[in-house]
Structure formats: structure tokens, C-alpha cells
Amino acid sequence: MNYNLIKAPNSAEFGSITADIFCQAISDTVLPKVILPTGETVRDFYAALRAKKPAPFIYVQLDEYKGLGSQDPKLFSNWLARDILDPLGIDQRMIFKSDAPQPDLETQRVSQWLNNSGPVDLAVIGIGSNGHVGFNEPGSHFDQSVHVQTLAAETIRANKAYWKYEGDDFPSQAYTLGIGDLRKAKKTILLVKGQEKAAILQRALLGDMTVDVPASYLQRQAGLTIVADSAALSLIG
């Protein structure tokens, strides 16, 4: 397995190191296509990137809850708009329509967009504590494209926490780019923070390459950089 591993000493440096790597990774492409994730892990990175003001890129959405109205505050597209895309003035956005009346047509639309546009230049991704990437839950095949994914119970729990949501009607399904789409990315940056990710990071990088751990596809991913803090790396050394 061949990757570039960068250990970040603290949160602020995690953000600034990642922002530097991000800008470097897209510096040789005009209007690159870039996947960006949501989540707690990326907050410092987005703060640093807002200050750096990188060259324009085309934003490609990684994943989105299915079935929410276009004004729902829980939409990932709104989160990304607020945290990074609007502040940077990125107006070219390939985003999922959460409320699409025919989900099959929506997955086809996004798949076709990817096929027509060519491979993504840079995929920035996180990892869920069960090894999911985007919303590709354990069991997702490595050659799958855009699809609707039923969310694992622990993923719903972790996602409810973003919104301090305690109701029962939280989305149980989501749109996601597939691992097959992510494998086509020319470059990938995996961001991992915190002790609670240490065991799954170890399994993903050093365990079997298996659909039970979706992030283990990275073991064969060319152009991979991992930025992690010391807690996340505590089982890898």
C-alpha cells in the first residue's frame, strides 16, 4: 500500500496542513472537479481554506440525505454552502436533489454527470466509525456507482448528533457516490481525527481489503494522502 501520511499535531494545524495539501493537489488543474465531505472532521480544514481562498473548482457532492425538502436545514448541500462554498464563491456545484420525486432517475442523473464530465480530480473524504465512506455502508461493493443507501443505525445516531436531533423521523436513507466513483478520483485526501476512529483506521489500512470495511478500498488507491491526528493514529504507530 502506497500513501503519503501526514500527522497533524493539533486541530489548528490539522486544518492548515490540509488546506495547504488541498491547494497543492489542485494547483495543476484549471477548474478541477472536487469532492468535499461534511462532518466534524473537516471543520478546521474549512476554516483554514476559507482564509486561503483557493482557485475556483467545481464542487461535486459526496452524499446527501434522501427525501428532505429543499429548505431543510439538515441538508448537507446547505451545510457545505454555508461553511465553504459560499464563502469561497464556488458557484459550480453538482448536488443531489434530496427531494427528487424519482430516486432512480436522480442516481442516474448524477452517474451520467460523472460519466460525461470525466474522473474527479480530487476526492476529500472522511471515514465513519463503521468504516463508511460517503454513505457507503459496510457491504457496499467496490465497483458500485451512485446509489441510494439505507443507513446503518450507528450512522443515523452519529448524524443525529450533528443537528442535536432527538426525533424518530430522521432520514434513514441517503444518496451517495459509490466506491466505484471514488476509486476513479485522480487524487484522494483522507481526513481522520480522534481516538474513536483509531480502530477503524487501523482496520481500513492494515486489515483485509473487504466490503465489510468500505474504506479499505483505499489500500489500492493511487494518489492517496492521509492527514490524521495522533489519537487517530494511535493504533498504527
- Positions that interact with ligand GLP (CB under 6 A): 37-41, 62-63, 126, 128, 134-135, 155, 158-159
Instruction: Give yes or no for a contact between 8 and 50, defined as CB atoms under 8 angstroms apart.
Output: no
**CB-count burial class (<10 Å; 0-12, 13-18, 19+) for 190:** buried
Active site residue 132: yes
> Which residue is it, cell 488546506?
19
H/E stretch holding 94 reads: strand 93-94
Tell me the residue type at 7: K
Active site residue 159: no
Residue 22's nearest CA partner among 91, 132, 121 is 121
3-state DSSP helix/strand/coil % of the chain, to nearest 5: 35, 20, 45
Active site residue 147: no
Q: How far is the CB of 127 from ligand GLP (least distance, A)?
A: 6
**Toward ligand GLP, which CB reaches closer, 38 or 144?**
38
**Toward ligand GLP, which CB reaches closer, 113 or 162?**
162
Catalytic one of 78, 121, 132, 181: 132
Catalytic one of 44, 63, 64, 181: 63
Active site residue 64: no
**Toward ligand GLP, which CB reaches closer, 156 or 209?**
156
Catalytic one of 106, 121, 137, 181: 137
List, by residue number, the catalytic residues. Answer: 63, 130, 132, 137
